[in-house]
């Protein structure tokens, strides 16, 4: 009899372990499906050409509707429009040195604030910036560059110069006069979004692809369009609270990314931040099926890559009282938590961090939970500055593809992301008690 009882217990344990395994697999595949959809080429990198970011907004809005989320708007729309300036590259992008045509996004990137240009077979002049040790010398060089018409200028050792002068690359780009510039860089090429343009056309080129015998001529075509009043949208839905509907627990994620750099090059943004968007959508679906005492709010922000514009707009134009937010969790880059997570602003939000730690110790969801000081690099920031208790959570363990053409869904492991979601569900429930 004792042997039979032990065998029954073992069978039950195996059934439980199998059920947990199936659940984890289902969560992971659910997330992968939505990350793949959001980072698919048909959404054009969720940027500001070919309607990419608006297609993503409609995708989230349809998901909210399908899961019965409510809208704060009288017309039932989940969309909160706002306007922004943005520099875009919707047309041709081409760079050829001597007779070698370089690959956009891999061999070179166009500075996001660049204006367009069309040069054919131009001679190149090389200037080594190593001699520049102070800002006044750089200013003098920029003044002299005004006279260098008709040539492409290659600025060598820009990395070391900007480091010595503690000059951000946006200041470097703004100080250059009108002209065409090649800037060799060693290592990872990272693209961004820009809300302004500069007088120059600047291409950062991976130095290992440049001809070893030197560059004689450059052919370049860059087409840019500056959108002065681009209409973008935040996407916001909620599940009414059962006991305290005027108190709010909020989950956010930005769904925009960098979009296209010309006709050929897409920045998919699977990790940044289709992953956080999919996680936010999963939580919306869960709490739609499991209403809580507090109202649960879910926000997808646009304009993050251009400077936290969507979240900043919401804080200035809230759809419900900010002071009624019990807590806000922003999810950004959650494609892998093999090595755990970091809670940004966790040092300031000590009570919330302790709750997360206690839940994790009890349930063993994640291998590590780290905390950091406040930063201004994601959408929690505007809320925190307005006095809202808020944190930003990102995962550890991803391959490091960031703001590049390699940030694709197949590169994400999604390890422990289901566990992160379970942790956040428990956390949301605990702070409403």
* 2: in domain: no
In 3D space, the residue among 302, 316, 275 whose CA is nearest the CA of residue 417 turns out to be 275
CATH of the domain at 79: 3.40.630.10
Same domain, 342 and 295: yes
> What percent of the chain is predicted at pLDDT more than 70?
94
Number of Cβ within a 10 Å radius of residue 101 = 12
Does pLDDT of 119 surpass 70? Answer: yes
Q: 363-381, pLDDT tens digit by residue?
A: 999 999 999 999 999 999 9
> Using CB atoms within 10 A of its CB, is residue 257 exposed (0-12), middle (13-18) or buried (19+)?
buried
Same domain, 270 and 387: yes
Q: 224-276, pLDDT tens digit by residue?
A: 999 999 999 999 999 999 999 999 999 999 999 999 999 999 999 999 999 99
Segment 353-371 mean pLDDT: 98
Round to the nearest angstrom and report the end-to-end CA distance of the chain.
45
* 161: in domain: yes
Instruction: Say if residues 328 and 390 touch (Cβ distance below 8 Å).
Output: yes
Same domain, 278 and 404: yes
Does pLDDT of 8 surpass 70? Answer: no
Same domain, 280 and 366: yes
Same domain, 391 and 353: yes
Residue 179: phi and psi, rounded to 5, are 160, 180
Segment 81-107 mean pLDDT: 97
Round the average pLDDT of the chain to a whole number and report it. Answer: 93
Q: Pick the last residue of a domain from 222, 246, 267.
A: 222
Q: 376-409, pLDDT tens digit by residue?
A: 999 999 999 999 999 999 999 999 999 999 999 9
Cis-peptide, bond into residue 273, ω within 30° of zero: yes
Q: Give the model's pLDDT for residue 169.
A: 87
Does pLDDT of 9 surpass 60? Answer: no
> What percent of the chain is predicted at pLDDT more than 90?
91
Segment 101-124 mean pLDDT: 96
Same domain, 358 and 300: yes
Q: 152-196, pLDDT tens digit by residue?
A: 999 999 999 999 999 998 999 999 999 999 999 988 899 999 999
Does pLDDT of 53 surpass 50? Answer: yes
Q: Pick the last residue of a domain from 162, 189, 222.
A: 222
| Dist CA 44 CA 259 (whole Å) | 5
For 233, the domain range is 26-85+228-430
Q: Give the model's pLDDT for residue 3.
A: 58
How many domains in the chain?
2
Say what the pTM is: 0.92
Same domain, 96 and 186: yes
CATH of the domain at 110: 3.50.30
Same domain, 203 and 283: no
Q: Pick the last residue of a domain from 154, 189, 222.
A: 222
* 297: in domain: yes
* 147: in domain: yes
Does pLDDT of 20 surpass 80? Answer: no
């Amino acid at each position: 009899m004792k042997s039979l009882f032990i065998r029954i217990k073992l069978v039950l344990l195996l059934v439980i372990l199998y059920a947990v395994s199936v659940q984890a697999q289902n969560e992971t595949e659910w997330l992968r499906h939505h990350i793949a959809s959001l980072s698919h080429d048909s959404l054009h990198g969720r940027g500001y050409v070919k309607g990419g970011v608006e297609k993503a907004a409609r995708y989230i809005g349809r998901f909210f509707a399908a899961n019965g989320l409510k809208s704060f708007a009288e017309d039932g729309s989940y969309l909160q429009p706002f306007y922004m300036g943005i520099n875009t590259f919707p047309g041709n992008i081409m760079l050829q040195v001597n007779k070698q045509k370089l690959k956009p996004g891999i061999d070179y990137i166009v500075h996001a604030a660049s204006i367009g240009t069309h040069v054919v077979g131009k001679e190149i002049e090389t200037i080594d910036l190593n001699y520049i040790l102070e800002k006044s010398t750089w200013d003098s060089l920029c003044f002299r560059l005004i006279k260098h018409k008709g040539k492409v200028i290659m600025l060598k050792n820009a990395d070391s110069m900007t480091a010595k002068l503690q000059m951000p690359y946006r200041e470097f780009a703004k100080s250059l006069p009108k002209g065409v510039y090649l800037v060799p860089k060693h290592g990872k090429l990272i693209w961004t979004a820009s809300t302004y343009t500069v007088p120059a056309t600047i291409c950062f080129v991976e130095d290992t692809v440049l001809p070893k015998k030197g560059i004689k001529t450059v052919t370049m075509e860059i087409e840019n369009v500056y959108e002065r009043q681009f209409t973008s949208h935040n996407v916001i839905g909620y599940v009414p609270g059962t006991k305290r509907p005027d108190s709010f627990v909020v989950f956010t994620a930005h769904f925009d990314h960098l979009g296209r750099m010309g006709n050929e090059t897409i920045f998919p943004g699977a990790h940044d931040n289709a992953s956080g968007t999919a996680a936010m959508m999963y939580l919306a679906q869960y709490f739609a099926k499991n209403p809580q005492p507090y109202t649960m709010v879910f926000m997808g922000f646009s304009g993050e890559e251009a400077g936290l514009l969507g979240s900043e707009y919401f804080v200035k134009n809230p759809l419900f009282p900010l002071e009624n937010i019990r807590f806000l969790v922003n999810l950004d880059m959650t494609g892998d938590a093999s090595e755990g997570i970091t809670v940004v602003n966790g040092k300031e939000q000590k009570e919330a961090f302790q709750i997360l730690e206690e839940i994790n110790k009890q349930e063993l969801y994640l291998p590590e939970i780290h905390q950091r000081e406040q930063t201004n690099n994601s959408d929690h920031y505007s809320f925190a500055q307005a006095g809202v208790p808020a944190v930003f959570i990102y995962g550890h363990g991803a391959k490091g593809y960031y703001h590049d053409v390699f940030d694709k869904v197949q590169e994400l492991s999604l390890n422990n992301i289901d566990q992160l979601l379970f942790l956040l569900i428990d956390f949301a429930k605990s702070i409403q008690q």
